Structure 1
Amino acid sequence: MDCIKAATLLKGSLWFHLFLLTICSSNLLYVISEEKLPPSPTSTSQLVSLPSSGIFEPIEISPSVLPHYPFLGKTLPPMYPAFPKTYKPVLTGKCPFNFSSISNIIEKTASDCSQLLAPLVANVICCPQFGSSLHIFQGHFTKSSDVLVLENSTADDCFSDIVEVLGSRGANSSVCSFQSSNLTGGSCPVKDVNTFERTVNTSKLLNACSVIDHLKECCRSVCQPAIAEAAFQISSLASNSDNIHVLNDCKGVVYSWLSRKLPSEAADSAFRLLAACKVNKVCPLEFKQPVEVIKACRNLGAPSPLCCSSLNSYIAGVQRQMLITNQQAIICASVFGSMLRKGGVLTDVYELCDVDLKDFSLQAYGEEAGCLLRSMPADVVYDNSSGFSFTCDLSDNIAAPWPSSSSMASFSLCAPEMSLPALPTSQTEYPGCNGFLLDVLIFMFVLFIVPLND
């Protein structure tokens, strides 16, 4: 029944029967809520405040391009193509590296950046994993030499091969902003092992980043300041060491050194957590000036259908951008609320109009089921029987926080009073055509496929 109900959204489209057959018969996609453990004494400090320096910027995402099939009259390719069992990429032949040595990292990256989901999970899942895989590749590539970086021409060839290998596994890495220059050390003055180990307290660095406390690192950091200190020490050998670009380039060299010393899985776990600490500090959504919402909700003293209709319509447009984490949702709600307050909306319209945290992330079944990704590093999983899946967090109705002022300058998620609300402890599975991603595909289908009939 849910399948039929959802599919009626496409009624009248030439692609209706194909879509219904693909989604409701193949039974490929599902999303489940994560069963949360009872909060520990340290779990309330898991959220992070904005950094005081520019070293830890949010990961940049290039403009996303969703799948589009431009050939009219031709048979559509399978929406979920089976991944090949062996690599068949067209490589440059100039990158002297055996990718099978990091095959586990390549497989995870390909899954996390799968063509279908990459634009929707780029900020939280795909790009952090792709960045980690580049660090690990760099460390493995240079492990048998006395350098920590690649030459420019070699970096170009190897980066091209990495993208090709991932593409052969069904991945789309173009949604991320990484380039071959990320493998070269850029403007960092230290690029060889001997100088690095003479300049940096490597024992301190290794101890800080070998085993990271997932609950404490984002707020009471150990590894992050150790990396920042090492990057500052080697960058100080440059004449323009105060340049933020030099510091960031030197951080890449530090990551490369760590990748040489840590097992691949340990390095990947550490790098992903550091990326999670970074992306969860910033709302990745774009908010246009909410002129109509401000006009409808200013000077409000009682519930207003006009205000709530305008507010819900605006948020419905915003939430289509991507999936976000629970922590990002708190920041996004506060950012948008601050915009409203600055425009003269002083009443808590979130409460008046029943706006929840999940409303800022991509939705399923209208208001019945929303998905917020968990703040800890998560992966997209693919297998032949169940297809793509990932874990949702905070899937119940938790009210969005209304900001106390129009300023975000003092906003901090590390303060005890800003800890997350109580989370659900029961595990549930979304009903119907495997729940959440059905509506994602309906949105993609209507937006990109149906216009082909025009």
Structure 2
Amino acid sequence: MLSGAMGCVKASIRLDGSLCHRFILFAIWLSSFPDIMALEIKPTVNHISSTSELAIPPKSGLFEPIEISPAVIPHYPFPGESLPPMYPAFPPTYDPVLTGKCPINFSALSDIMDKTASDCSQPLAAFIGNVICCPQLSSLLHIFQGYYSTSSDKLVLQNVTANYCFSDIISILESRRANSSIPTICSVKSSNLTGGSCPVKDITTFEKTVNASKLLEACSSVDPLKECCRPICQPAIMEAALKISAGQSLISDENIVGGPNHIDALSDCKGVVYSWLSRKLPLDAANTAFRILSSCKVNKVCPLDFKQPLEVIKSCRNVASPSSSCCSSLNTYIAGIQRQMLITNRQAIMCATVFGSMLRKGGVMTNVYELCDVSLKDFSLQAYGQQGCLLRSLPTDLVFDNPAGVSFTCDLSDDIQAPWPLSSSVTSFSLCAAEMSLPALPASETLGSFGM
């Protein structure tokens, strides 16, 4: 066990300027894990109405994470007594069994392998896959592909070699406490290392076809604050991918630019461009750049799965003032979706807009977010005691620490009201518009770090 710390949520607040960061240790346990016991908790009200009269919790019990700060961790009368089984234990690190057929010295990539294993840790991967685990795993594969190709003129791996190397990568990550299901969680496979249907796979043809110096200049240093709204690296990668995929359209009439086969080739060619960049950039610079580009992509959409909110529409369609039945129905619905995963602050804005648009389409015209005090954090995974966590929109990593467990940084943990959409359509929605910038958080009179 990790000193009994996994299984508790440990929060400390660091106020820096106008941003509020919360360091939280989350323990997510599921009955599907043999050494993690699911604990049924009677929920408190997670996101609730304007008055105590409206604070009606769901009737059924929910399986939720538990928050226990260091000050309230239960003390047991016998020092030698172990903690209850609700505290999950990671499997010990072990030597992985490798195929022996992947001609790579993995020790050169040890640091990024450790980072990926931590970001995809066993009990958390399914809940942070969209934001933390999968972007880092994708970056690792791009970097591995480039590293592998440094000893040849190829930018990709052959199919058989890719199978062996991909298997070894996953085995090494598993041995370092990563979830064994990350290929499924992140929809990656060995063919991601092969270049697929991209017609250009060698470095000589690549550098003759694209403006290599322009590409390297655009992506050597990616600005995390500007790239998503005023991109420089992304269009350079797309331009290079379009150029090396252009020959694909000459093979048959079906592969005209914009056709299904050309879209596949374009996607595969983007992987080849990433491989080339991995050869040219230092490992840390490549990983940072790839993670920022991933963040731009994941923050454009809401990753949550919304079922039709028929009960909410029925209860809230004609309300004009706080209603106990409307807020109870709304809170019960949100209590279900917030169990899906941790999301970023920008994703929360998207999710609130998407869900609000569904309600408007059903005839709910009143801003029920305001009536029922629904906050942005209500759309992300909750800790016990209404401690909602929204991850920052910038790349975030998990940190594994033997005595402390696994920690990550939460942002926008204050009760910022969820935005109610102005219409039932979100087609023109953009987080880059000035009016959709994230709301400013109150500055603290006392700045600094308040413990870990």
TM-score class, shorter: 0.7 to 0.9
Deviations 1:159-187 (A, max 9, x none): 00000000000101242111101000000
The answer to whether the Cα contact below 8 Å between 2:90 and 2:122 also exists between their aligned partners in 1 is no
Distance 1:27 1:153, change over 3 A: closer
Counterpart in the other structure of 2:390: 372
Unaligned stretches of 5+ in structure 1?
Answer: 1-20, 40-63, 435-454
| Greater alpha carbon shift after TM alignment, 319-328 vs 358-367 | 358-367
The answer to whether the Cα contact below 8 Å between 2:340 and 2:381 also exists between their aligned partners in 1 is yes
State whether structure 2 residue 280 is matched by structure 1 residue 253: no
TM-score relative to the length of structure 1: 0.79
The CA deviation at 1:25 is: 7.0
Distance 1:395 1:196, change over 3 A: same
State whether structure 2 residue 233 is matched by structure 1 residue 223: yes
The CA deviation at 1:69 is: 1.8
The CA deviation at 1:111 is: 0.4
The CA deviation at 1:366 is: 4.0
The answer to whether the Cα contact below 8 Å between 1:32 and 1:428 also exists between their aligned partners in 2 is no
Q: Could you say what the CA RMSD is over the residues aligned between the two structures, in angstroms?
A: 2.6
The answer to whether the Cα contact below 8 Å between 1:136 and 1:268 also exists between their aligned partners in 2 is yes
The CA deviation at 1:35 is: 3.7
Q: Return the letter of the residue paired with 2:378.
A: D
- SS of 2:289's equivalent in the other structure is helix
The answer to whether the Cα contact below 8 Å between 2:18 and 2:440 also exists between their aligned partners in 1 is no
State the percentage of identical aligned residues: 64
The CA deviation at 1:152 is: 0.5
Counterpart in the other structure of 1:354: 373
CA distance in 2, matches of 1:66, 1:99: 34
Counterpart in the other structure of 1:205: 215
CA distance in 1, matches of 2:284, 2:88: 31
Q: Return the letter of the residue paired with 1:269.
A: T
TM-score relative to the length of structure 2: 0.80
Q: Return the letter of the residue paired with 1:218.
A: C
The answer to whether the Cα contact below 8 Å between 1:136 and 1:264 also exists between their aligned partners in 2 is yes
Q: How do 1:267-416 residues align onto structure 2 when only pairs under 5 Å count?
A: 267-367=286-386, 369-416=387-434
Of 74, 91, 96, the match for 2:98: 91
Counterpart in the other structure of 2:438: 420
The CA deviation at 1:82 is: 6.0
CA distance in 1, matches of 2:276, 2:331: 49
Counterpart in the other structure of 1:80: 89
Distance 1:65 1:191, change over 3 A: farther
Unaligned stretches of 5+ in structure 2?
Answer: 20-28, 38-83, 250-254
Deviations 1:204-248 (A, max 9, x none): 000000011111000000000000000001001112243211111
| Greater alpha carbon shift after TM alignment, 264-273 vs 169-178 | 169-178
State whether structure 2 residue 242 is matched by structure 1 residue 232: yes
State whether structure 2 residue 10 is matched by structure 1 residue 30: yes
Distance 1:290 1:29, change over 3 A: closer
The CA deviation at 1:23 is: 8.6
The CA deviation at 1:300 is: 1.3
Q: Return the letter of the residue paired with 1:79.
A: P
Distance 1:27 1:71, change over 3 A: closer
- SS of 2:115's equivalent in the other structure is helix
The answer to whether the Cα contact below 8 Å between 1:272 and 1:377 also exists between their aligned partners in 2 is yes
